[in-house]
Chains A and B, each alone.
Chain A
């Protein structure tokens, strides 16, 4: 259980959120090749260290936001208040199916 600093609601237990994965640059679906699109969908950096990721506050404000977390220690750098929210729709729907 880690505390996730929602920029809108404050620090809450991770059980209130859904993790949406690492932030990835999404190619334009209208002009991308199939290979590029599949690379975007499936390939991951899965870094052991600081990553930028999106969380969705499912049992709270219902908004998506981006933070930085160290995957080795679960140390978190909170998003600054008022920082741009990452509406990463594909990251939101793409998950490994854990329903909490």
Chain B
């Protein structure tokens, strides 16, 4: 029996149990945290203000502010990445809850949210997965307008190549599940793949010839930093405090419930803590005495110099363990599978670039002379079934939004929305119920390995 989550008082609906949904994004005028009043037209990002600032030379207003750490908050979110910031945003927007602190030991968006390869898609394998990620894609589609921040979501299409019969079968399976959930995905032939991406080698000369692909039209790339900053700006304006360079060193649990959080800047009394720390999920959960089915693996990525635009879709190859996309600036961004051992190190390795180069040149031989400019890594919280862990834990008041592995950024908005609803109402939304921590004890895993990453 899962312990009850105490919902947070919602000043918008004046009760504990009902959330106000679907309200337009509002800049709250009243809150315990001294929210600034609704931004004037002068503070919005617009062509008019761009011209005005160009003429009067004044600075734009600060995008987010520093605050003193209060002694207590209604909700403490640990981790100021896209998941933590989105949870804060939807707590304010949908439920009017703004007595929230989002703490991060580094700078906001400096973890995996700033290190991913910025791909957004919903072409998953299970119906639960497809429904979930589809909601995220829909939220991303209107995010720029809602946040008044250009997140540069470019839905240029997503191709998952199939190099074997069994792979083709999985693509067909995914296409059918996607269609059933109303998501546009279809299986296409090699000549159609060639038409979409002329630089791909679809001949039979390749070591692993392309037999077809899953084409997912709504998929694409986004500017991950912009998403983090856009959410942070809205969160800050709503009155929620973002505390950067504030490390959580302990979580106080008394009689099985959370009573506070210890940080490097002092103690915060609180009854609601949300763990959004990705690679450090187990470390933070351990502070509350909670064990997770997570192993942290480094995930590396690399980027080339900018080149003329030639790639009109995101290309993924499960067989070759590699994926590539081209940013608006013309850089090619590459990713592959996680490092094959658990570690908390974010160093790159030559082994990664060597393998990556080999596989990419398999796909597109003409890239041989392109120069690799930079490589980096993030820390991925991997679960046994490649699905996240969201919701309650055996400690009352300690919630988790972790286990995001190599597929967390695309789920930022929907996770924030769902966790905000759980915190505000005390009820787990149906969309995330399959991802409960209890599924491991119950043997009800949600197997998304076939669609979640290229590491198979």
Contacts and interface: CB of A to CB of B under 8 A. Distances in A.
* A, B co-complexed: yes
A48 B379 CA distance: 12
A56 to B, nearest CB: 11
A34 B444 CA distance: 13
A72 B345 contact: yes
Contact of B340 (A18, A35, A53): A18
A42 B342 contact: no
Nearest to B282: A46
Contacts of A72: 343-345
Contacts of B384: 41-42, 96
A86 interface: no
Contact of A46 (B294, B337, B440): B294
A47 B344 CA distance: 9
A21 B345 CA distance: 16
Contact of A1 (B293, B294, B295, B349): B349
A92 to B, nearest CB: 14
B441 A19 contact: no
Among B280, B338, B440, the most chain A Cβ lie within 10 Å of the Cβ of B440
Interface string A57-100: 00000000000000111100000000000000000000011111
Contacts of A19: 340-342
Interface in B91-130: none
A61 B428 CA distance: 50
Contact of B350 (A1, A39, A51): A1
Interface residues of B, number: 30
A32 interface: no
Nearest to B381: A46
Given A73-B345, A100-B340, A44 B351 contact: no
Contact of A71 (B292, B344, B382): B344
Contact of A42 (B282, B343, B440): B440
Contact of B292 (A13, A43, A97, A100): A43
A22 B382 CA distance: 14
Interface in A14-58: 14-15, 18-19, 21-22, 34-35, 38-39, 41-48, 51, 53
A43 B283 CA distance: 13
B247 to A, nearest CB: 13
Interface in B314-357: 337-338, 340-345, 349-351
Nearest to A49: B344
B338 A21 contact: no
Nearest to B349: A1
B57 interface: no
A50 to B, nearest CB: 12
Given A34-B443, A38-B440, A71 B343 contact: yes
B337 A98 contact: yes
Contacts of B292: 43-44, 46
Contact of B351 (A15, A21, A22, A38): A15
Contacts of A71: 296, 342-345
A96 B283 CA distance: 20
A98 B340 contact: yes
Given A1-B350, A1-B351, A48-B283, A97 B449 contact: yes
Contacts of A14: 340-341
B135 interface: no
B456 A45 contact: no
B291 interface: yes
Given A1-B351, A35-B441, A46 B455 contact: no
Nearest to B456: A97
A13 B294 CA distance: 25
Contacts of A97: 449, 455-456
B382 A96 contact: yes
Contacts of B344: 48, 71-72
B348 to A, nearest CB: 10
B440 A44 contact: no
Contacts of A74: 343, 345
Contacts of B297: 96
A95 to B, nearest CB: 9
A43 B456 contact: no
A46 B296 contact: yes
B291 A45 contact: yes
B441 A38 contact: yes
Contacts of B443: 34, 38
B293 A44 contact: yes
25 contacts: A15-B351, A18-B340, A19-B340, A19-B341, A21-B342, A38-B441, A38-B443, A43-B291, A44-B292, A44-B295, A45-B291, A46-B294, A46-B296, A46-B342, A48-B282, A48-B283, A71-B296, A71-B345, A96-B295, A96-B297, A96-B455, A98-B337, A98-B340, A98-B455, A100-B340
For the complex of A and B, 5 pairs with smallest distance between CB atoms: A19-B341, A46-B282, A42-B293, A42-B440, A98-B340
Interface of A: 1-2, 13-15, 18-19, 21-22, 34-35, 38-39, 41-48, 51, 53, 71-74, 96-100
Given A41-B384, A48-B280, A51-B342, 6 more contacts: A42-B440, A44-B292, A71-B342, A74-B345, A96-B382, A98-B340
